[in-house]
Chain A
Amino acid sequence: MITPLDDFLEAAVRTATPLALAALGECVTERGGVINIGLEGAIVCGALAATIVAGTVGVAAGFAAGAAAGLLITLIFAIFTVYLRADQIITGTAITLLSLGLTGLVYKSFYGTTGVGLTIPTIGAVEIPLLSRIPVIGRALFAQPVITYALYVLVPLMAWWFMRTHSGLALRAVGESPDAAVAAGVRPRRVQALAVLFGGVMAGLAGSTLVLAQSGTFVENMSAGKGFIAIAIVVLGRWTPFGVAGAALLFGGASALQYLFQSLGWNEVPYQLFLALPYVLTLVVLARASGRAAAPAALARRKLTLG
């Protein structure tokens, strides 16, 4: 017997998955002292690449293509910010603009301007026997597409890696004090570049998830600010993997609220309110989180530089 609450929770986890993927990637990037607001662009590039490849080759290849697309577009960002030391915000904005334009262009040339609905095969939910029978949370946590299960492995793995390996320690040091890292024999540029690229791969996967595990189609600008929400999630999650996962769930819930209200028959509330809710929530959360103190020092010290 499936209640509206079950549906809501299941939708919350499902919506949270791409947010969590992108946010985990950005968490690594920001721990290295770089803020990538081009994340939005990487997500949309990943979504389109996944669409094209899944439509022709297959779903698994689609995910891989999405990750690769995210990596490639973020490579441009990495070169500009890590090696040319260009301003991270301006470069990120340019990357997002570039991605939106590029995907718009490629989409039109592949699928034409007719706007006919495009359908791509998606991966369905995989129920884990026994666990998915748990009341209330069983379906929400264990009747999801495989990509969500990947998160269950990834989050603790990342937490362990941050705290219990020298490479994780090196990343944290680079994000706090690049000078100290250099003096200890670490190579900050390499660490930062790898962290940024990892973020790009995760963002590409997030975009793939949007298409291949959710909507089954591609629309222009389908990321709709999810990249920016991911950044807010990192702040709320205090730059830790478990915190980020929790924060992503919160935002997934906010997005899924719309469906809960509909199924409960509460239709008077204008649906734009629901659309706006995640963004307003971001603002509220950021105001309460006072994240400045917990942020990696190199991130907080960054200021606008213009030639």
Chain B
Amino acid sequence: MSFALALSGISKSYGNVAVLHDVSLQVRPGTVHALLGENGAGKTTLMRVAFGLVAGDAGDVEIEGVRVSEHTPAHAIARGLGMVHQHFSLVAAMTVTENVALGNHGGFTAATVAEQIRTVGERTGLTLDPHARVRDLPVSAQQRCEIVKALARDARVLILDEPTAVLAPDEAQALLRWVREFAAQHPSHAVVLITHKLRDALAVADDVTVLRRGTRVASGLASTFTEVSLADAMLGPTERTPAIEAEVMPRVRPHTDSVGAHHVVLQADAVTVHDNRGVARVHSASFNVRAGEIVGLAAVEGSGQTELLRAVAGLREVASGRLHRPPDVGFVPEDRHGDALLLDASLTENYALRDAGSRRGRVPWREIAARTAAVLARRDVRANGPHINARTLSGGNQQKFVLARALEDTPPALVIENPTRGLDFRATAAVHDALHDARDAGIAILFYSSDLDEVLTLADRVLVLHNGVLRQVPREREGVGRAMLGLT
């Protein structure tokens, strides 16, 4: 019996940074195989090698027992491999039909492909409107499209990269159920589930492989592992501080709600916000944030949170209603590279960016460099000094830097989007600590995270945004999850 997918001795380096070292993985046919590890452990890179997107420096890839050489995505697809990427690989401007057809050869008749989409939908329960444009679909439908695309090319082995990251809890459960069914459907089927969520892995997986810093540290039947033993494997023996542990096995912590006495810093009354095209994305929202509290916003992507947060931060006008905010509100955007940093400028210059809009006259560069150096040291940002380029910092250090920049002058309020996207557990814990410290110093914090666990563990109060409608809900998983989907 050959494995559905077998990787042996895969190594990959970028420059002199080893991302994968001698990693092996065997996926038994008919099983769900969870590939676990924190962000940056190498899981996605490993599967990109398996799919032919990236060429490994060493090692072999075998699909259904046949060794592949000169591997490309086209080969992988032809051999029955399908991959659903973390950041979807769909062409937003095109229709579902066009996206599913992409990559085939010869003449292309939309009607045939649409028929194919319907058939797959009936067979698997993943239904889609073939003529809808991908950018108009909700996130969960876009993910279905990715899967249908793979199935339409007769994929037998599916690789799903962090599929539950953008889904509400109910949607995530439905997906995981579907994954189990798919694997069980046919002896040649198999699923590789890349995730950093222990709970999801243990819920559906038959086998588990754990990566840490690019090497395989554990693998075997899922039934032989517990949450604790998996956390141990993911983190390694030296990293078990309570803060980091809390990231790996999130629990909703009890908070002392003593914030009633503090004054309101941010207040929104029936606020409506439009997007760039003039469409209303937030409808008549009312809420407030007090000094010394963290308010978390839970929502499925595309519910209007981007527009709302940017309005609160002062980067966008409100179309109607009243928004009371102090003039100086810090903002940490989701896209570090695109919206927060000048990658090819020094850290000093990046630090000076903060008040670049209002500064007049000469820029005291030496003074700013000294301040930057002090901040780097105080906030434990690993950098050789303030003169180096922002691009050379790791993702975690970049985020710590951006956060430090926003907090350094103790603004009355801070707005953040997805504070720990793409960060490993250690950096995540550091960011959460920094936010807690800021809260304790009296700063009013409003944040959004697409990761429900982060919202629940970090926030003192939880707001839910669904289709532009905002409500406050009690801080527990079930209720918030259902509110995110508009089910309550």
Contact = CB atoms under 8 A, between A and B. Distances in A.
A176 B91 contact: yes
A164 B109 contact: yes
A129 B105 CA distance: 41
B106 A170 contact: no
B53 A183 contact: yes
Contact of A180 (B77, B102, B104, B106): B102
Nearest to B83: A183
Given A166-B101, A170-B102, A176-B94, A183 B108 contact: no
A173 B94 contact: yes
Interface string B81-119: 001010001111110001101111111110000000000
B73 interface: yes
B145 to A, nearest CB: 11
B441 interface: no
A247 to B, nearest CB: 22
Contacts of B90: 177, 180
B108 to A, nearest CB: 5
Which 7 pairs from chain A and chain B are nearest by CB? A185-B74, A184-B103, A183-B89, A185-B103, A184-B102, A180-B89, A185-B73
A181 interface: yes
A169 B73 contact: no
A166 B92 contact: no
B477 to A, nearest CB: 33
Contacts of A72: none
Given A169-B98, A176-B91, A182 B53 contact: yes
Interface in A164-202: 164-170, 172-173, 176-177, 179-187
Contacts of B109: 164
A34 interface: no
B162 to A, nearest CB: 15
A22 B106 CA distance: 27
B338 to A, nearest CB: 11
13 contacts: A165-B106, A165-B107, A165-B108, A169-B101, A176-B94, A180-B99, A182-B53, A183-B85, A184-B73, A184-B149, A185-B103, A186-B74, A297-B93
A166 B98 CA distance: 9
Contacts of A186: 74, 102-103
A180 B91 contact: yes
B267 interface: no
B102 A173 contact: yes
A297 B92 CA distance: 9
Given A167-B105, A180-B89, 9 more contacts: A165-B107, A169-B98, A169-B108, A172-B94, A179-B89, A180-B90, A183-B53, A185-B77, A297-B93
Contacts of B99: 180
B393 to A, nearest CB: 20
B306 interface: no
